[in-house]
Structure 1
Amino acid sequence: MQKRTLALAIALTVGMTGCKTMQSSELTGTPEEQVVQNYANIAHATFDDAYLTAVDLQKSVNQFIASPSAEGLEQLKAKWKVAREPYQQSEVFRFGNAVVDDWEGQLNAWPLDEGLIDYVDGGYYQHELGNPGAELNIISSKQVKLGSETLDLTSITADKLASLNELGGSEANVATGYHAIEFLLWGQDLNGTNTGAGERPYTDFVQGAGCTGGNCDRRAQYLKAATNLLVADLEWMRDQWSAGKSGNYRAELLADAPEQGLRKMLYGMGSLSLGELAGERIKVALEANSTEDEHDCFSDNTHYSHYFNAKGIQNVYLGQYKRVDGSMVNGISLSDLVKAKDASLDKMTRQQLANTDSSLQKIVDLAEGPQQIKFDMMIAAGNQQGEAMLNNTIESLVKQTRYIEQVATTLNVDALNPDTADHEF
């Protein structure tokens, strides 16, 4: 029998499964070219959702600042959590795409020395040693002297915060992004590995009489400026992935050889899976029993951030993304390419992605269930249940990465070398 072409094999496979809505009007060229185009579509949709949810957060910030209340602060926290979901799924595009990696530090850098931003507990000692910005307290200081330089902080604006991010060259001086906003909404989590997140009172934003924490007007300015910057940054990145724009990153990606696009996809999946999520975000905190290395350490939302990171990896392999409005973006995928060449490998890869999803879902269920055992409690010394669950997730992510490497070999992407972030697994 004559050997099927790759394009025909994929077409037959997709047709038989009936599980994909092919975007034939948008995807053109060879199967590999279509996979990269679909990848760009998914990236655009993910960043668009991150932008739209940030705009919703921005509206709520403005409403809250105008009339602070306990209920309003809780609603604002809920909006922040919603905004995290699409953003965390976007992180798979960071590795392999320099345009994202060079940009993300202004949005998602962590852990941060919160004393740079606002007041902290009197026993605060866990900041980075030797960091001159760790106790600057931008909100209480209209002028700050750092070495021979005097910084004018009379007004707190988005541009000013951007200039202060990583002040003095320290990565711990995080002045912008989701985690700066998170700290402003929750305040420090002083519970260690016990139950409870940050408990900032809404009165920290009350203007005039009733203000707690001092400088409530400047704290409101900071929150508004940080949120405005977040929205502007996300709008810029969304536009980088928009179709029909000449000179943006999407146009550059699609003009390159499709093999390079496949490499970026697989490197992004492997690096987020191995070095970043298994290593930096789980292994480091678990081995050191360190709540300071927890990703969403003020809100105790870390379980969801980890879950949606892994969901982003799965999205890229399956070539699909569920938008916040419930609609689907999908098309020809890496899974389709692999299935046409090695159906067994595709099945095992999809199963391992599902195993990772399941292991992280168990962590979410434990955190959100009756016991409310959050990530910072799971990493406590002696918490055997938490340690076992997190080690199981690390193991699943490592196995997942090995399958991603096999996928790369099958698709003739050589020397993938996903980033380990200097961790050994």
Structure 2
Amino acid sequence: MKQLVVRRAVLGMALGLGLGGGSGGMPQALAQTAAPKGPAVDARAVAVGYGELVHASYGDVLASALDMQKAIAVLIATPSQTAMDAARKAWLDAREFYGQTEAYRFYAGPIDNDEGPEGQLNAWPMDESYVDYVEGKPDAGFVNDPKFKITKENLVKQNERGGEENITTGWHAIEFLLWGQDLSDTGPGNRSFEDYMDGKRPHADRRRQYLQVVTELLLDDLNGLVKAWTPGPKSYRNKFDAGGMESVRKIIVGLGSLSRGELAGERMEVPLNSQDQEDEHSCFSDNTHRDMVTNALGIQNVWLGRYKRRDGSLLKVAGVADLVTARNAALATRTSEQIAKTVAATEAIQAPFDREIIGGADAPGRKRIQAAVDSATEQSKLLVQAANAIGITKLTLVQP
């Protein structure tokens, strides 16, 4: 499982290394500066604001996942192409919000501490045959094994059992059950809705059950994250709010680690080097290009203290940029511009991602991805400098 491999392989990075960075001449609309409007903020204000942002965004993920569950229930009850298309769209819509929450990882918070659900939610890459049939293996997977009882407990127990690609749960298991294998060079997988119809495909009843149960499990995990970040005397949120500069350190660990180790490294450099479809993040739906954008947006959200909610409203809180501005306004502005440049670079990546990675170094798609890698790498260096500017002298970032 790529993400857990990265998380376990953290390396120390000392601050104050003199790592440079530039703005790259971003358009005004994207190069949002960090100039605060009003009194300077302190570390507690940033920690409290971050908690508000995290709670709101996990709430939006949960709400969109509930919509997905409703669409999946229709598919299960009355399989049709219309129902399949609606379930797929609901999955894609929910991923737009989940991708932005990955900026909350990498510091042993509720998502990925020893008890955290990250490995059940977003593990990848996935051996599809562990769950259901694939080309040349019509009887593969737990779906086609009547001896296997499909329950939440059993799916959790089998997740990653015997290998990190043996994934039974989470977004990508649901994705595979909705799209099937991606056997096309120009588009996503094209699983037939008839896979869920008795008499059309063997074990359709078990496939329906598996899809229902794995979706329920995903919602359980999301509910747990919302609860952890809900204000309350015993919640993780309460401790984080009171954490001061230590909480800010954790915030920057999340931003820097996602920037370099995960986004630039695992999600873009690895498939660039391998040119293998199996190394792309959302390979069944061909949604990988959007995964890159939402990860980049998540970093920008936290840095600026801004988040566009599911209902279209804008949540504005104290951001890390505000804190850095008080110590080094030029560095804060430079970092804001670099982060905006990364968002723009990821938005330039075209779908399908598995075709962008093919070719020589001068292939247009590979150059677009490399530009995003370079920008995310540069912003991680600036985030290190930003931490140093506010007095954080030691930082541990996930490296690729």
Range into which the TM-score falls when normalised by the shorter chain: 0.7 to 0.9
d(CA) in 1 for partners of 2:340 and 2:187?
A: 31
d(CA) in 1 for partners of 2:346 and 2:137?
A: 34
1:246 and 2:260 matched? no
What residue is the counterpart of 1:162 in the other structure? Answer: 156
d(CA) in 1 for partners of 2:382 and 2:312?
A: 29
Give, in angstroms, the shift of residue 385 of structure 1.
0.3
What residue is the counterpart of 1:138 in the other structure? Answer: 142
Give, in angstroms, the shift of residue 123 of structure 1.
7.7
1:105 and 2:119 matched? yes
d(CA) in 2 for partners of 1:195 and 1:239?
A: 41
Aligned ranges 1:9-408 → 2 under 5 Å: 13-15=36-38, 31-101=42-112, 102-122=116-136, 137-143=141-147, 153-154=148-149, 156-168=150-162, 170-191=163-184, 194-206=185-197, 208-209=198-199, 211-212=200-201, 214-243=202-231, 245-256=232-243, 258-363=244-349, 366-367=350-351, 374-382=352-360, 384-408=363-387
What residue is the counterpart of 2:28 in the other structure? Answer: none
Total equivalences in the alignment: 362
d(CA) in 2 for partners of 1:13 and 1:279?
A: 32
Give, in angstroms, the shift of residue 346 of structure 1.
1.0
Aligned ranges 1:414-425 → 2 under 5 Å: 414-421=393-400
| SS at 1:122 equivalent | coil
Give, in angstroms, the shift of residue 411 of structure 1.
0.8
d(CA) in 2 for partners of 1:120 and 1:306?
A: 27
d(CA) in 1 for partners of 2:346 and 2:333?
A: 20
Structure 1, gaps ≥5 residues long: 1-11, 17-21, 23-29, 125-134, 144-152, 368-373
Give, in angstroms, the shift of residue 405 of structure 1.
0.5
Structure 1: which 4+ aligned runs deviate by more than 4 Å?
Answer: none
Are the aligned partners of 2:301 and 2:307 in contact in 1 as well (CA < 8 Å)? yes
**What are the Cα deviations for residues 347-381 of structure 1, in whole angstroms up to 9, with x where unaligned?**
10111011101111111xx33xxxxxx11000113
Are the aligned partners of 2:133 and 2:140 in contact in 1 as well (CA < 8 Å)? no
Name the Cα RMSD after superposition: 1.8
d(CA) in 2 for partners of 1:118 and 1:136?
A: 5
Are the aligned partners of 1:14 and 1:336 in contact in 2 as well (CA < 8 Å)? no
d(CA) in 2 for partners of 1:359 and 1:271?
A: 18
Specify the code of the residue in structure 1 equivalent to 2:234: G
Give, in angstroms, the shift of residue 306 of structure 1.
0.8
Are the aligned partners of 1:51 and 1:234 in contact in 2 as well (CA < 8 Å)? yes
Question: Aligned pair in 2 of structure 1 residues 68, 90: CA closer, same or farther (>3 Å)?
Answer: same
d(CA) in 1 for partners of 2:105 and 2:294?
A: 14
Specify the code of the residue in structure 2 equivalent to 1:311: L
d(CA) in 2 for partners of 1:88 and 1:249?
A: 21
Identity %: 40
| SS at 1:416 equivalent | strand
TM-score when scaled to structure 1? 0.82
d(CA) in 2 for partners of 1:327 and 1:13?
A: 20
Are the aligned partners of 1:240 and 1:250 in contact in 2 as well (CA < 8 Å)? yes
Give, in angstroms, the shift of residue 175 of structure 1.
0.2
Give, in angstroms, the shift of residue 56 of structure 1.
0.6
Specify the code of the residue in structure 1 equivalent to 2:58: F
d(CA) in 2 for partners of 1:31 and 1:339?
A: 11
| SS at 1:99 equivalent | coil
Structure 2, gaps ≥5 residues long: 1-34
Specify the code of the residue in structure 2 equivalent to 1:203: E
Are the aligned partners of 2:53 and 2:317 in contact in 1 as well (CA < 8 Å)? no
Specify the code of the residue in structure 2 equivalent to 1:393: A
Question: Aligned pair in 2 of structure 1 residues 380, 123: CA closer, same or farther (>3 Å)?
Answer: farther
Structure whose CA Rg is larger: 1
